[in-house]
Amino acid sequence: MSQDRLEPLSAAASPETAHDGAARRVSAVGGVSADEPLRPLAIERREPGARDVVIEIEYCGLCHSDVHMVRGEWREVEYPLVPGHEIVGRVSEVGADVTAFGIGDRVGVGCLVDSCRTCEACRDGLEQFCSGNEQGAGVGTYGSVDYRNGGGRTQGGYSQAIVVDADYVLRVPTSLDAASAAPLLCAGITTYAPLRRAGVGEGTRVGVVGLGGLGHMAVKLAKAMGASVTVFSRTDSKADDAGLLGADHFVVSSDPDAMAAARQSLDVVIDTVAAPHELDPYLATIARDGRLVQVGLPADPMPPVNPRILAAQRVSYTGSFIGGIAETQEMLDFCAEHGVSAQIEMIGADEINEAYERMVAGDVAYRFVLDIATLPEPESLEAGAGARLS
């Protein structure tokens, strides 16, 4: 994406003056409290403005962070909350100032729908680190204050349609299957960005801790970049799957002898585990000047790291958080070029609560995707509430 697409909004494009469509009621699935199951909801989508794209959503991936957010495990949440930031659909309407997209285009929306566009991070194309607006962060696809559009809370992709500023809409290449492309908008960019930043290429030795939604994408992307890939898992139950995904080696991390044999054998380790766990055994597998990148985000604190392990081989421990808009488009294009997509299990709206429990238990191979066509019509729902799902 060219840098000029992220120019600051002019006064003429403010929500007070740019609306040229009508607000729309759509059906969705969301949470109404931290301890209740998800249920059908009816929500209002804002009027589209001159810079907006209206997207009829076809598919939305289920991310583990959706579970954390809906259940209030990361921060206090304002309900109702419609999750979903792995969105793929078709353009049904564009504003008068939109030139990058047309009716019928297949597009995607990831974790961000706005940012200040003027802070250093935004100017560098790193909108995920935006710090220049009144809430000190970019506007997330759900659960964020949409300060540029009246100050309401954003609602995500478990819904029939969404209205998004064109600068935060991604083009989904036609060679990618729409459903299996949806998880690329979070799981894909979350693992692509640190691999690219580490300079992974032919001959790089990459380790992947955990083989779930993030882990399986890390394996596929690292292999597409030319790396040799080692998967770490607590048991050998996923050894065959790791091989089918392209991994060259599989290490049972609960086996001390296997971990000892892997000592100082890797250049980059991507840790995708979203539960607290010891890092020292994985740091010991990294060769001099290598790095361990944390992309799995546990709800509870991690055990401390022994700094002597870091110093002994000049190993770095760092983190990574999704990617900017331009880098996300780069990732989608890379996946299209190399035939990379997510391994998915399609679900209907009436299966979503079971899917959440299965995600927590690690029982998914490897990403759930919600078929939006299974949502009820909004006319059958009351605003902000609805029938219980089975």
208-233 pLDDT tens trace: 999 999 999 999 999 999 999 999 99
Indicate the pLDDT class of residue 136, thresholds 50, 70 and 90: low
DSSP state letter for 344:
E
Work out the widest C-alpha separation in the chain, in whole angstroms: 66
Mark whether 303 and 349 lie in a shared domain.
no
More confident of the two residues 180 and 386: 180
Same domain, residue pair 154 and 200: no
In the predicted model, is pLDDT for residue 11 greater than 70? Answer: no
Judged against a pLDDT cut of 60, whether residue 145 lies above it is answered with yes
pLDDT at residue 386 tops 60 = no
Residues 278 and 253 in one domain: yes
Query: What CA–CA distance (Å, rounded) separates 248 from 171?
Result: 32
164-191 average pLDDT score: 98
What mean pLDDT is reported for the chain? 91
* pLDDT at residue 382 in the model: 60
Question: In Å, what is the CA distance from 97 to each residue of 11, 12, 165, 172, 233?
Answer: 14, 11, 11, 21, 49
Q: What is the pLDDT of residue 383?
A: 58
Whether 206 is in a domain gets the answer yes
Do both 313 and 350 map to the same domain? no
% of the chain residues with pLDDT over 70: 91
Residue 223 belongs to domain with CATH number: 3.40.50.720
3-state secondary structure of 15: helix
Which residue, 319, 352, 372, sits at the end of a domain?
A: 319
If you average pLDDT over residues 293-319, what whole number do you get? Answer: 95
Range of 131's domain?
3-185+343-380
Q: What is the pTM of this model?
A: 0.90
Q: 64 and 179 in one domain?
A: yes
pLDDT at 93: 97
Residue 384 binned pLDDT confidence (cut-offs 50, 70, 90): low
Q: Select from 64, 45, 250, 75 the least CA-distant residue to 156.
A: 45
For the chain, how many structural domains are there in total?
2
